[in-house]
């Protein structure tokens, strides 16, 4: 589960080092609060929620301290491991577009399309109504599609 948690943390933080720190903090908090985990429920949802809360608390504290927070998409250095060069280029373009999404849409896209969570499960992790998940995904798909079409045609 750790690679999935790390990937989720990378989407939240947009930085490898911060993702490592966040994933470790989430694991540490999960171990500290292990008695709060309900047997028979989904461990991944519980830990993802812990990571999200830690990250939101960090963003709030950064805002209070210095008004900073997110890293530019251009600063994220992700290795591309797919063998097909055209697939790599397209996937890179889509990933760049995903990183340009507002945070709420970006996180929802990761949970549903990358991690394979159902709309209901993603809603539970994010603590939002299922309709909001569906709305965020529709908006994200529309935004990415629109940007990709503009890029194809060369119009702004």
24 DSSP assignment:
H
The pLDDT value recorded for residue 4 is 92
Q: Judge whether 23 and 9 are in contact, CB under 8 Å.
A: yes
The pLDDT value recorded for residue 140 is 92
Tens of pLDDT, residues 58-103: 887 776 555 444 555 555 555 555 456 666 677 777 788 888 899 8
Q: How many whole angstroms separate alpha carbon 7 and alpha carbon 131?
A: 25
**Residue 46: closest CA among 60, 27, 59:** 27
Helices of type H across the chain = 2-13, 16-32, 43-65, 85-100, 103-109, 119-126, 130-153
Half-sphere exposure of 153 (CA within 13 A, CB side): 7
Question: How much is the pTM?
Answer: 0.56
Q: How many whole angstroms separate alpha carbon 64 and alpha carbon 57?
A: 11
């Amino acid at each position: 589960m750790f690679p999935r948690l790390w990937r989720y943390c990378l989407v939240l933080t947009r930085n490898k080092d911060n993702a490592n720190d966040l994933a470790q903090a989430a694991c540490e908090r999960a171990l500290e609060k292990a008695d709060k985990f309900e047997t028979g429920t989904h461990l991944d949802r519980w830990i993802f929620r812990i990571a999200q809360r830690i990250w939101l608390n960090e963003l709030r504290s950064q805002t209070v301290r210095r008004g900073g927070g997110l890293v530019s998409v251009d600063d994220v250095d992700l290795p591309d491991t797919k063998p097909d060069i055209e697939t790599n280029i397209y996937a890179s373009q889509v990933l760049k577009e995903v990183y340009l999404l507002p945070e709420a849409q970006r996180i929802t896209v990761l949970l549903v399309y990358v991690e394979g969570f159902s709309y209901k499960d993603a809603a539970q992790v994010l603590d939002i109504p299922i309709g909001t998940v569906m709305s965020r995904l529709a908006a994200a798909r529309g935004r990415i599609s629109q940007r990709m079409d503009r890029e194809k045609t060369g119009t702004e």
